[in-house]
A and B are shown apart, each in its own frame.
Chain A
């Protein structure tokens, strides 16, 4: 089927819906492979950072400083300025649209501490994270969906986008599979926004939903658009042991502490000022270090998160969901017992490169592709650099989602539809037909689990050349195997086996780009920590990686572009200490 809209938004998480809210007068279609309220944004617990100063003095510039420093100076500083300045207004907009923030006694939005957020350029923790209990992301998603209903946005639920259509260098549509019927649809549009989220499912232990398969990144990558800084992948320190389900940093924001096998609150040793509230890359590394030093619980590969001293009342009031998870998935009662945790794959700092208006840029010269936008976790504006601060992702969604929406509103006024390229559905149809007809005997589930194991072995918190080469060889093999994936379910109707197989293809692409970026970057920076190059190397590596897809896993082409700094001594790259 063929349909035509001014704007097609792929993804109904925070970023996609925030953009949709800016387009009340355009014909907008939102395509999403899950029902909108099931998007992964709903899992975010902790909060959304903005220097409102409701609890104590705060300034956006302090926030910007923390963002830049937290990102280990791989952040494009003008973008960070926009992020932190506009965060304030964006949070008020959310409140006006109904978001039920927790409140201070005088009725303002309540704020709490979060990792890496400091007052006065690093002096000590500051209350900056605006929150709604421990389900801020859920509330953002609900509020935005509610407003989309108010604005009568057209949703295409359970549509899996397969391909981006480009004609003459300009994006002009997408092809999607309607999961319920198995039909292929073409959506012709003046502008397209990708807001498809991350790819945490590439690792075995992850906080991410099953749906986080890197779809958007891979689709762009297959169409010749580079992926930026994919080696920068965040591992959150406190995932529930084995399951990976996240125990939000909000717990530590409220005072929870990490405890090792010797009964020691070890973060005090590593980071005397911020302690447990140091940025995530650092805390994750400290945990891995403790485990390597034999300080894991019973010598095993996990440590404890301890909330007991907070008291039953505070735990119930401020951290209800988290307590629930611990009880449910571990059978642990956090009020009386410490909770077993380990680092878990969490967030892609990298993604489709964009400028500050969320326009996708396709080379190191910042050349935009007209009509194509990306926002949210799928995009890399680069405000998170080498490591994202907690609560900065939701800010990213609302600030750059909003900018994307506003810019698209302008763009559709000024431009006309570009015709669709010839035989535009061919690629998608062939892809799907191949999966249906293949008799190669390979199982997608098996390939996926091999990939996830390999990534957690060799492309995790600590990396080194040998391991990553091994991983790359493995992935090359898995990509070959992928060509022979065979389905048991040959039906058209709601074929989730087909969907999973398509998604696996996306995931393999993202893993490939991640490893290439990581192998080449011979330094340690933020979340990218190499045992064989333990120091940061600004002279050679203060630059963004751009990975272009080749024909095989081994022949990815890398290019680089400079990090944009602003002329202010405060933001000059220096060693990162907390």
Chain B
């Protein structure tokens, strides 16, 4: 769909972008924390099985966890050091998860040893295995194991590969910087992805608020690759996979279906960069680029941060305001609030945003009854009726929500809550309702 010259999807919202403060800052290396806590669940799927023991010394890049089945990936040591413990650690979800407590050796180098490379000439299955072994997951935030997505079942095919450099989430500039600084890796990654998926062409999607990135990628676009860089209108949630498909291809993923059903595949630009970086060198993910920002952060910036860095160390290092009271992993629209500062950075963390009390609008806004203004209806990119869903949720009619109002199609982008003038915590209600529906379904099955 095209509006005012630039492609986009229908509905959506325009939150303040707040990206200017970090978009110009180059990626900087982040120091090691005195203790790194590497959770063995950083992805969707089964936890990795630890292959190290307490007291064992590990090399930076060494595998410390192996995948438990296909729906799982490897973990690698982010630093050379001593395994203090293999025990439970707090996670963003509030639950305790198994983790490896790693104490880096003082002066541990940030240089990385190469492993066995996986060349572009390898077979599809070899590349997929290499991606799983490198521990690659979707770095956009969902942390879905990438190799699972790339395993195309018999009878299905992909004609278009979309590389998602939209980064519509306010405050975050991770992908922006990656596109500017790691374009070579991105295109290498794309070659691997094209090979594995068999797609005919690739589209790199960039939002119009990053003209420098789009320009840079266009210039760097290898002439032998069939594809293009598309600039999209600035609108949230343009970066959601489904929105990209409808904006770029005019195709809609069937309700509760997969992108494969419309012969498309979407991969985050940072994920592509990681694949391009790691596979030729036979390495695993040990660190990632994260935007540390928000009104409460003193030294905002884009940092390459070792996986497992505790949030407390990270914030102390960049400095935060005294009255900070909310920290999210991710951006303010879809990011999850950190339950404590003891949790650590994982592969799925694209940003850390800290707010002070005064900037925290929602804390002080009174909740009014729904006045049926319809803002949410005009915002929902899935064309749901959040107002109705919200009222149904308030009276706990969860099955009606799921059966008649497509509750399960909501992907919690937060657009409805953002625009709601009554400040009704719609997304929160939908999450609760979804959990209740899943529970009752599980109970019934």
Judge: A and B partners, yes or no.
no
A residues with CB within 8 A of B: none
